[in-house]
Amino acid sequence: MPVTDVFSKLSTSEEGLTSVESAQRLAEYGANQLDAGKKKPLIVKFLEQFKDLMIIILIIAAILSVVTSHGEDISDAIIIMAVVIINAVFGVYQEGKAEAAIEALKNMSSPMARVRRDGHIAEVDSKELVPGDVVSLEAGDVVPADMRLIESASLKIEESALTGESVPVEKFFDSSVKNDAGIGDRLNMAYQNANVTYGRAIGVVTATGMFTEVGKIASMIESADETETPLKRNLNRLSKVLTWAILAIAAVTFVVHLLRGGELVEGLMVSVALAVAAIPEGLPAIVTIVLALGTQVLAKKNAIVRKLPAVETLGSTDIIASDKTGTLTMNQMTVEKIYTDGQLRAATDDLPVDNLALRIMNFANDTKISADGDLIGDPTETALVKFGQDKGLELLTELSKTPRVAELPFDSERKLMSTVHQLTDGNFLVAVKGAPDQLLKRIKFDSDQTVLTELSKNNILKINHDMAHEALRVLMMAYKIIDKIPENLTTETLEQELIFTGLVGMIDPERAEAAEAVRVAKSAGIRPIMITGDHQDTAEAIAKRLGIINDGDPEDHVLTGAELNELSDEDFQKVVKQYSVYARVSPEHKVRIVKAWQKEDKVVAMTGDGVNDAPALKTADIGIGMGITGTEVSKGASDMVLADDNFATIITAVKEGRKVFANIQKTIQYLLSANTAEVLTIFLATMFGWDVMLPVHLLWINLVTDTFPAIALGVEPIEPGIMEQPPRGKKASFFSGGVMSSTIYQGLVQAALTLGVYGLALAFPVHHSHAAMHADALTMSFATLGLIQLFHAFNVKSIHQSIFKVGPFKSRTFNWSILVSFILLAAIIIIPGLNGIFHVSHLDLYQWAMVLGASVSVIIIVEIVKFFQRKFQKI
């Protein structure tokens, strides 16, 4: 709307507000700061960790264990509760992403602002700004609130944190803007936390605090749904399956015990012992340990994981939706092509240091060079100076020989900048750079100082068009020599009858390693998608260079934010698979894109570095922030942060994530097949009326075999070819790929071998007294069930491949875990004193041979089954 209408709507004027009016509005609108968000007390966060179904089952089992033992044997309960509490502590430690993100947003705000109050300029704390305040802005300022510009002079504002656009935007107070224009196209507005890089302006505050664009993003972060991770879904599913299976087995055992004439309390104790044996109580802790070790591996590879389940989620990623600026690109304008002396050259080609185009682009330039060599100024201008340095042009040395004595600053209307330099012969050099369409009107001579013909002009325009079509930002350079400086410096007196020297094309280039990362992602069945606030042509050009879009593909794979606004959620859902690039989008669009892919049952990873990326980072299955260029807001909303801002690191993390899932799957197969063996052994023994195992035996086996070997399986080396397989999909579970059937049959085999050894011990006793015979049989079944699980751990090193192919002794960690567990199991039988505590007897060589023979045979049986599985299922 016109500025006069803006003043009317906000009840203010060019003179701003009075102190009384500002105080009244401050009371009405509140401070110009972001809400801290609702913080949960630590105790609430801790108690919420106990809502998980598996945890509830474990707690009930622990309570029943204490009740049925009348408080005499509480070791089971202590172990179970220790696991539960450790798990809860880990959960609390990992929580609080939204709070951190909001806090980071608060810390970004500008501390002071120059405001017109009571008719004069005053510096006030930006928290005290209110709608209607008139604020002045200069280069180097951070915009303190959302404001409509009422005056501007050569104003450029860098809004990449909000829009994703890498180049500062020229702003005009009198610009006409459509009602549906995106943030990046609102050229008469300045937004909170954006940086003024050039020029000056005066604006009237239109929104403060949570009503600003940054405030809206803060609200979106706060209200964004936490996406349930694939790991959590899988563990919940597993908990439900185990719950019903355990209840059914315990109930049947209890009923059978009563039917056989057993006592009620004794039957309840047997049922609880079965339940404890069936629950893999170490699983939550082992999963946590495996994930924690995965985070350590990733940290060494520059991927810092903020939330443990994110490690596994990475492995199931289907879509990587990546922000362009600073993620796929360098977020640094760079010269790519230069047209000079009638030749179009690549930036890497040789160029003489005295080339006129090179000198003009450096002379007509406001870049400052700090004492330590840093380039300070507009990114476009610093790119030109950097290009000059690469070609051997020492700007400070040249300016000392040819000093600047006058200038005509950049003006957003004429889109030109001119500087005047004193030459040694007494004449002056006028160096001009600017927009090709504006500068060409003022050029009279070609580079060879002949009059510019229509043919030459058309050729220059064609070169300009070709470079622009490649999404390069093109500037033109020209010059002339004058004998004296005009008294009144204007475009008419200084910028006429110029000599053409060249064109320079710049772009925010793609990262060198990003194209290879995109190729690897595609080969792994992962679809890379670019989402950016930049212009369509720029986005499309970068996407083609990276291989996200195939060059020459006739189909349109680019959708703009404006086009997306025209689509309903239902219509967008129908076409979401068609687009790989989204340009000129807002934060709301990013969230829509992520949610649309999630509705397609895809696991979505979203990368980003700006404030504008934060809501989408939080909504995605895994949000990936940038460590170097990223704002604290985007890091706070992320599950993982890239310390090196390297897109290729994501692919490394995906590979690690796939390894983590495979290893957790192996651990679950191992634990559940072992627990199935324990349950079936007790259940079938109850059916036969045998007393094959005491509760203390089950507890010791669980302690020894459910810890070291299970953790060792969780850190197994990666299996070859894992990145050539497609993503496993959202609906895949830990039981996919034949794991369920393998778990059941392997548990049956272990139970059968254990009961077989018990039966043989009774049939062919070493001692003839009934008590000694029973003690030996009990000890042999205990030793067999324990050792058989250790040998079975070798089987689980690969779900389908032979252990001899993957290498049975390849992992030193695994070898040590088996050795330590073997010693702990054997020690309580061999060491005098311990066998009395555990109610076991000494075994002779014949009995040990029987135990070891049965235990080793599990490897032979499983290897045979695997052979036929590979043969008939083509695995």
Domain boundaries, the chain: 3-30+104-223, 280-300+653-873, 309-330+511-645, 335-410+428-503
Region 660-676: what's the mean pLDDT? Answer: 87
What DSSP assignment string belongs to 741-772? Answer: HHHHHHHHHHHHHHHHHHHHHHHS-SS-SHHH
Cα 73-74-80 angle, rounded to 5 deg: 140
pLDDT at 631 over 50: yes
Q: How confident is the model at residue 661 (pLDDT cuts 50, 70, 90)?
A: confident
Give, as one character, the DSSP assignment of residue 525: T
pLDDT at 172 over 80: yes
Alpha helices in 578-627 (DSSP H): 587-599, 614-619
First to last CA, the chain: 67
Q: Which residues pair with 671 in a beta bridge?
A: none
Q: Which segment of 547-561, 669-683, 847-861 scores lowest on mean pLDDT?
A: 547-561
Where is pLDDT greater, at 11 or 67? 11
Task: Give the up-direction half-sphere exposure of residue 206: CA atoms within 13 A in the CB hemisphere.
Answer: 21
Fold of 309-330+511-645: Rossmann fold (3.40.50)
Phi then psi for 437, rounded to 5 degrees?
-65, -30
Write down the architecture of domain 280-300+653-873 according to CATH: Up-down Bundle (1.20)
Helix/strand/coil for 479: strand
Q: Which segment of 152-156, 165-169, 295-299, 518-522 scores lowest on mean pLDDT?
A: 165-169
Nearest-CA neighbor of 479 among 494, 464, 461?
A: 494
Phi then psi for 156, rounded to 5 degrees?
-130, 135
**C-alpha–C-alpha distance, residues 728 and 736, integer Å:** 9
**Per-residue confidence (pLDDT) for residue 83, from 0 to 100:** 60
pLDDT at 99 over 50: no
What DSSP assignment string belongs to 648-714? Answer: HHHHHHHHHHHHHHHHHHHHHHHHHHHHHHHHHHHHHHHHHT-----HHHHHHHHHHHTTHHHHHHH
The rounded percent of the chain whose pLDDT value lies above 70 is 86
Q: Which long-range contacts (CB under 8 A, 24 or more apart) does 421-428 make?
A: 421/363, 423/481, 426/483, 427/481, 427/482, 427/483, 428/481, 428/482, 428/483, 428/484, 428/485
Q: Please report, for residues 51, 53, 624, 625, the alpha-carbon distance to residue 85 in angstroms, rounded to integers and kept in the order given.
A: 13, 15, 29, 31
**Per-residue confidence (pLDDT) for residue 557, from 0 to 100:** 81
Where is pLDDT greater, at 765 or 267? 765
**C-alpha–C-alpha distance, residues 829 and 839, integer Å:** 9
Q: Where are the beta strands (DSSP E) in 251-350?
A: 303-305, 319-323, 334-340, 343-346
Share the mean pLDDT of the chain.
Answer: 83
Q: Residue 838 CA to chain centroid, in angstroms? A: 50
Residue appearing with tokens 């959708």: 559
- In the chain, how long is the greatest CA-to-CA distance? 125
pLDDT at 584 over 70: yes
pLDDT at 96 over 60: no
**Per-residue confidence (pLDDT) for residue 109, from 0 to 100:** 44
pLDDT tens digit string along 294-338? 777 888 888 888 776 777 788 889 999 987 877 788 778 899 999
pLDDT tens digit string along 789-840? 999 999 998 888 888 888 888 888 899 999 999 998 888 888 887 777 777 8
Region 655-676: what's the mean pLDDT? Answer: 87
Write down the architecture of domain 3-30+104-223 according to CATH: Distorted Sandwich (2.70)
Q: Which residues pair with 205 in a beta bridge?
A: 147
Number of neighbours of residue 151 by Cβ within 10 angstroms: 16
**Per-residue confidence (pLDDT) for residue 161, from 0 to 100:** 66
Where is pLDDT greater, at 129 or 160? 129
323 is catalytic: yes
Does 309-330+511-645 match 3-30+104-223 at the fold level? no
**Per-residue confidence (pLDDT) for residue 329, from 0 to 100:** 82
**Per-residue confidence (pLDDT) for residue 110, from 0 to 100:** 46
pLDDT at 585 over 70: yes
Kindly name the residue from 146, 323, 366, 508 that is annotated as catalytic. Answer: 323
Q: How many residues does the chain have?
A: 875
- Which of 84-98, 112-126, 287-301, 377-391 holds the top average pLDDT? 377-391
**C-alpha–C-alpha distance, residues 194 and 203, integer Å:** 14
Q: Which segment of 22-26, 319-323, 670-674, 830-834 scores lowest on mean pLDDT?
A: 830-834
Where is pLDDT greater, at 278 or 501? 501
Q: Please report, for residues 134, 221, 567, 582, 715, the alpha-carbon distance to residue 696 in angstroms, rounded to integers and kept in the order given.
A: 78, 51, 65, 62, 29
pLDDT at 208 over 80: yes
Region 708-729: what's the mean pLDDT? Answer: 83
**Per-residue confidence (pLDDT) for residue 37, from 0 to 100:** 55
Region 140-167: what's the mean pLDDT? Answer: 82
Q: What CA dihedral angle connects 788, 791, 795 and 798, to 10 degrees? A: 130
**C-alpha–C-alpha distance, residues 325 and 329, integer Å:** 5
pLDDT tens digit string along 217-253? 777 766 555 555 566 667 667 767 777 777 787 788 7
Where is pLDDT greater, at 166 or 671? 671
Region 64-83: what's the mean pLDDT? Answer: 64
Q: How confident is the model at residue 102 (pLDDT cuts 50, 70, 90)?
A: very low
**C-alpha–C-alpha distance, residues 177 and 4, integer Å:** 16
What DSSP assignment string belongs to 150-166? Answer: EEEEEEEEE-HHHH---
Region 599-621: what's the mean pLDDT? Answer: 84
Alpha helices in 260-282 (DSSP H): 264-278
pTM of the model: 0.66
Contacts of 806 (CB under 8 A, 6+ apart): 719, 797, 798
Region 664-692: what's the mean pLDDT? Answer: 84
**Per-residue confidence (pLDDT) for residue 91, from 0 to 100:** 54
Residue pair 524/319 in contact (Cβ under 8 Å)? The answer is: no
Q: How confident is the model at residue 346 (pLDDT cuts 50, 70, 90)?
A: very high
pLDDT at 108 over 50: no
Q: Please report, for residues 213, 240, 356, 575, 669, the alpha-carbon distance to residue 734 in angstroms, rounded to integers and kept in the order given.
A: 43, 13, 67, 32, 8
The domain 335-410+428-503 having CATH identifier 3.20.20.80: the answer here is no
**Per-residue confidence (pLDDT) for residue 722, from 0 to 100:** 81
Q: Which long-range contacts (CB under 8 A, 24 or more apart) does 739-742 make?
A: 739/665, 739/668, 739/669, 739/799, 742/669, 742/673, 742/799
**Per-residue confidence (pLDDT) for residue 101, from 0 to 100:** 41
pLDDT tens digit string along 377-425? 888 899 999 999 999 999 999 999 999 999 998 887 788 999 999 999 9
**Per-residue confidence (pLDDT) for residue 644, from 0 to 100:** 78
**C-alpha–C-alpha distance, residues 211 and 209, integer Å:** 5
Q: How confident is the model at residue 97 (pLDDT cuts 50, 70, 90)?
A: very low
pLDDT at 539 over 90: no
Region 157-176: what's the mean pLDDT? Answer: 78
Helix/strand/coil for 450: coil
Q: Which segment of 60-69, 126-135, 570-579 scores lowest on mean pLDDT?
A: 60-69
Where is pLDDT greater, at 156 or 240? 156
Helix/strand/coil for 735: coil
What DSSP assignment string belongs to 836-852? Answer: HHTT-----HHHHHHHH
